[in-house]
Homo-oligomer: A and B are copies of this chain.
Amino acid sequence: MMKIYTKKGDKGQTRIIGKKIVDKDDARVESYGTVDELNSWVGYTISVLTPETAVLKDELEGIQQLLFDAGTDLATLNDDPKRSFIFNVDSVKWLEGKIDTYTEAVPAVQKFILPGGNQPASALHVARTITRRAERHIVTLQGEDDINKDVLVFINRLSDYFFAVARYANMLGKNEDILYRNSKPVFR
């Protein structure tokens, strides 16, 4: 039987792709660790889809696949002599198309909305904020080492995608967004 516990990381260090050893609290490990947390949350979100929102399943699974690609690049050194980055701007374009579609389908808003609604929509708002947490860690990593910049663009766009699709999930479930009562007209 294969053992997944190799005990190698018991003292707080681990290997990235290419076998370099780093501390587990390295900005690089933080980055792909948070992408893994996001990926798991997307898996959880899929598991709470309702019949009305089930149409989103394949797309969210596609995002899980892309998050693994993003994680691979984050775990790879820019100057690794044997490997090059795999993530590219096509995934950004794909997301932008989805954002446009969903934004056109829902009623326009000028004010901030409360992140919530039905269960899938609320889970998608949580995904939005975990994506932004991952982005913050990737920005820290970028300050220390070279990264694949397309990954950062993708993650930035991904949080806007989750905003758009959360609103769409509420529309599918016939839930109306609630406005932040003290909001200025921020979306223009």
Contact = CB atoms under 8 A, between A and B. Distances in A.
Interface of A: 1-5, 9-12, 23-25, 29-30, 33-34, 36-37, 39-44, 46-48, 61, 64-65, 68-69, 72, 86, 96, 99-100, 103-104, 108, 112, 114-119, 121-123, 125-126, 128-130, 132-133, 135-140, 142-143, 149, 152-153, 156-157, 160, 163-164, 178, 180-183, 187-188
Nearest to A128: B40
Contact of A47 (B1, B116, B129, B182): B116
A132 B33 contact: yes
Copies of this protein in the complex: 3
A41 B41 CA distance: 12
Given A24-B139, A123-B44, A182-B69, A61 B114 contact: yes
A136 B33 contact: yes
A68 B183 contact: yes
Which label, helix, strand, loop or mixed, suits the secondary structure of the A interface?
Answer: helix
A48 to B, nearest CB: 6
Given A41-B126, A65-B180, 13 more contacts: A25-B136, A25-B140, A29-B136, A40-B129, A42-B116, A43-B115, A47-B116, A47-B119, A47-B121, A47-B122, A61-B116, A64-B114, A68-B183
A44 B188 contact: no
A119 B44 contact: yes
Q: Could you say which of A9, A40, A121 has the most chain B C-beta atoms within 10 Å of its C-beta?
A: A40
